[in-house]
Amino acid sequence: MAKTTHIYEGSHAIALTIRNIAPAVVSAYPITPQTHIVEDLAKIKAYGEASYEYVRAESEFAAASIILGASATGARVYSATSSQGLLLMTEVIYNIAGLRLPVVMTCANRAVSAPINIWNDASDVMSIRDAGWIQLFAADNQEAVEMHVLAYKLAESLMLPVMVNVDGYILTHSFEPVTLPTPELIKQFLPDYSPESGTFLDPANPVTLGAFFTPASYMETRERLHNDLLDSLSAITKEYKSWKKIFGQKVEDNGLVEYYGPKNPETILVAMGSVVGTIRETIKNQPHVGVLKVKVFRPFPSEAIKKIIAGVKNVAVIEKAISLGQAGPLYTDLKAALDLSSRTPNLKNYIVGLGGRDVTEKIIAGIIKDASRKNEFLKFCGKI
């Protein structure tokens, strides 16, 4: 069978997808709420259902270092983390991107300390948004599964690391119908990893990775990484459409953003992740309101977003993160992307769900009502 549909826990569906993708090395350290992913991968290995090397690390920093080293030798690798674990990996996260290693990682998004909080928001991944990784955001577990397949194709064809973000608990611990692609179907899209000679460490062909760069040459490396990330937008669209065709699904968007709603909305709500599901339910009885789901946060799909919100009267950016002392990261990027020479919409930012607080339809309905008002641009929406 090319694919199978069952009721899966989100973490288990991701683990089974990674098994079917067949990395050579998996290394991770448990941290809530991503633990079920790597726990399942450990069981799969122990039961003899996979051949990857499973390396138990003593910390998230060590786990990231292990997959960096394995990737540098030309191996397909995988890891997962959350919250403080991602923060502990930060030094290595930047090194992976700077070394142009095709690492794929799952981040089960969770609030960061202090105070201690183990529930969902996007504070963790926003802390490394400038590290040089492609960042994908899944709205449901089906999308999460497919994004991992896409992530490997992008990483290995572009030599850029990719992080797939799934909301902790809301997706990782929820059970949904998920259609899993079999290894045979995945191979139609994602061939065995065979890196080019000179791009990895090989005693038979010695190369240097991560050399010491002086001011005379360092800046150019960052420029190349930046430009390659921007150029990856077209590759994401191309590979996304190719995967959808192989997977037997209708292509209704460009893989970067996805719009639901009326043709000429008065208000558009912009969001990422699982909150999009709540928004879609809320606007069913709102004939003048649409929702724009941002699926790729880095590189930022400025043109794709501007094309959809052009001419819209009100735009409300709803997000589970705050850049303290400024505004929400998604709002800030969207505002910067707007062409200031053209008519700009009434643009407002709503911070929701921090530390796992429920984002209800009542809250979304309150945001829709407030979006048309001429008042402060930033609001924390906890109990509307």
Q: Domain containing 121 — which CATH number?
A: 3.40.50.970
- The amino acid sitting at 158 is L
> Nearest-5° angle of CA 323, CA 326, CA 327?
65
Domain of residue 322, residue span:
259-380
**How far apart are the C-alpha atoms of 209 and 201, rounded to whole Å?**
8
pTM of the prediction? Answer: 0.97
Are 14 and 79 within one domain? yes
| Distance (Å, whole) CA 86 – CA 83 | 5
- Same domain? For 230 and 305 the reply is no
Are 281 and 225 in a shared domain?
Answer: no
User: Residues 114-165: pLDDT tens digits?
Assistant: 999 999 999 999 999 999 999 999 999 999 999 999 999 999 999 999 999 9
Residues 104 and 71 placed together within one structural domain of the fold: yes
Lookup: tokens for 49: 């259902």
CA 21 to chain centre: 18
* Average pLDDT of the chain, as a whole number: 96
Do the beta carbons of residue 296 and residue 134 sit within 8 Å?
A: yes
Shortest CA distance to 224 belongs to which of 134, 100, 136? 100
Q: How many other C-beta atoms are found inside a 10 Å radius of the C-beta of residue 197? A: 11
Asked if the model's pLDDT at residue 383 lies above 90, the reply is no
CB atoms < 10 A from the CB of 167, how many?
Answer: 30
Count of domains observed in the chain:
2
Same domain, 243 and 263: no
The answer to the question of residue 129 being in a domain is: yes
Same domain? For 148 and 40 the reply is: yes
* Residues 195, 100 share a domain: yes
Residues 91 and 204 in one domain: yes
Q: How far is CA 117 from CA 18, 34, 86, 356, in A?
A: 28, 14, 15, 8
pLDDT band at 1 (very low <50, low <70, confident <90, very high): low
242 and 278 together in one domain? no
Report d(CA 137, CA 272) in Å as an integer.
6
Same domain for 61 and 184? yes
253 domain-assigned: no
Confidence of residue 340 (pLDDT cuts 50, 70, 90): low
- 254 falls within a domain: no
- How are beta strands 134-137 and 296-298 bridged, if at all? antiparallel
Q: Note whether 82 and 107 are within 8 A (CB).
A: yes
